[in-house]
Amino acid sequence: MPTRLTFHGGASTVTGSCCLVEHDRGRFLVDCGLFLGTRTLAALNRRELPFAPAGLDFVVAYYDAQRFKAAGATPPTLNWTQDDFLAAAIAVHHTEGVATQDDFAYGFCSLPDSADPIYFTYLFGGRLFDRLPDPTRPTLDDPANIEAVQWYTDLRLAYGVTPDPDEIRKYFPRGRVFEAIVRGKCGLWFGQYSDRGGRVWPVEWQGKGVMLPLPRCRAPFGLIQVDGYYILAQSKHRKEAWDWIRFLLDHQEAAGLMVPPLQSQAHSKEYVARVGEEVAEVARRLPPDAIIFPAAADPVLGQTVELYLGAIAQVIKGDMDVETALSEAQVQAEALFSARE
């Protein structure tokens, strides 16, 4: 058979493409991601995949238990809200003196050029595009976006619990937020499920990171990456390879640091024994409408995201207010969309 290329994601979207290559000698998967957006994408995420998922990795929150103990503060719980998030960040934030002091810690380690502002945008019920995976226009100045960005930027401007971008470059020049996390200088931060303890990082975390779901806000939100089993096209033992994949799918430990692809495995006693009850409980709370934001076939979408984050950075710098910054970004994004037509 001739080589066939099938796109199961990544068409006119932003991150996490999903492409299946088939040939007479086998088939293999190139990347795999989930659709991120509103509930309209839920059906896409529940489609039967033409390959075997190996594990799920999704965005979660972490807190440093040692920082909360040192501050005499009550740690957040699994059912925490955005108000609980803010209270926790304020409780453990302490940046008097220099970063080398033992009690130095940022309440929430986040920078405006990270994905964190986008997570909060969707948690507030906002959106960057009118629809996904095939948007027709940007929605950067959506009222929910304005509210979300105001809340996020206030973490720095009103409450002072996030790092000053210039200061963190000075104190942690080798990795900014990532270096601060490794050195135990963060009270709260967002990361991946597989990050726990920094096991997949070059250096393990010095603090005691405890995993939590993202805080509850206006809308459910989850962002997942999917790892997949696939067979190389040049494989001479395709049947044996599929037998091996089926064997792996029957064993939750094959998912490694990710969540097992079968829901029953995440609820199994064996999985709890391997990862601990706290981590397993977070896995069980994976949002039912978790979404995938596949990789940009259209660079305009990525450029629109950059405009959004750039507007947030301008607000953090004090150059303009939220509504003005997002309005200007919206005009620029609309021009990008118009130019591609």
Is there a domain that residue 196 lies in?
yes
Bridge partners of 223?
291
Query: Is there a single domain that holds both residue 145 and residue 20?
Result: no
Q: Is residue 273 part of a domain?
A: no
Do 95 and 238 share a domain, yes or no?
A: no
Helix H or strand E encompassing 282: helix 277-284
Q: Are residues 151 and 235 in the same domain?
A: no
Report how many domains make up the chain.
Answer: 2
Q: Give yes or no: residues 235 and 194 share one domain.
A: no
237 and 135, same structural domain? no
For the domain that residue 90 is a member of, what is the CATH number? 3.40.190.10
Asked whether residue 274 is assigned to any structural domain, the reply reads: no
Tell me, yes or no, whether 79 and 113 share the same domain.
yes
Taking a C-beta distance cutoff of 8 angstroms, is the pair 177, 111 a contact? yes
Same domain for 120 and 15? Answer: no
Residue 132 belongs to a domain: yes
For residue 120, how many other CB atoms are within 10 A of its CB? 25
Same domain, 31 and 74: no
Q: What is the pLDDT of residues 294-326, one digit of tens each?
A: 444 578 888 999 999 999 999 999 999 999 999
> Does residue 134 sit within a domain?
yes
Dist CA 195 CA 145 (whole Å): 28
- Residues 266 and 50: their CA atoms lie apart, in Å, by 22
Find out whether 18 and 8 touch, Cβ atoms under 8 Å.
yes
Task: Please give the residue range of the domain that contains residue 24.
Answer: 4-56+229-267
The continuous run of DSSP H or E covering 335 comes out as helix 322-340
**Do residues 274 and 252 touch, judged by C-beta distance below 8 A?**
yes
Check: CB of residue 195 under 8 Å from CB of residue 201. yes
Amino acid letter, 106: Y
Same domain assignment for residues 199 and 262: no
286 located within any domain:
no
Tens-digit pLDDT string for the chain (341 aa): 444 444 555 444 444 455 554 444 444 444 455 544 444 444 445 444 445 788 888 899 999 999 999 999 999 999 999 999 999 999 999 998 777 788 899 999 999 999 999 999 999 999 999 987 778 999 999 999 999 999 999 999 999 999 999 999 999 999 999 999 999 999 999 999 999 888 888 888 998 999 999 999 999 888 877 788 888 878 888 889 889 988 998 999 999 999 998 888 989 999 999 999 999 999 988 776 655 544 445 788 889 999 999 999 999 999 999 999 999 999 999 999 998 86
Residue pLDDT, tens place only, 112-157: 999 999 999 999 999 999 987 778 999 999 999 999 999 999 999 9
At 236, list the tokens: 């001479």
Whole-model pTM: value is 0.81
Whether 288 is covered by a domain: the verdict is: no
Residues 52 and 140 in one domain: no
Instruction: Kindly give the interhelix angle for 143-157 and 116-123, rounded to the nearest 10 degrees.
Output: 130
- Domain identity same for 67 and 212: yes
Q: Are residues 305 and 165 in the same domain?
A: yes
The type of residue at 88 is A
Residue 27 resides in a domain: yes
R_g over Cα of the chain: 21
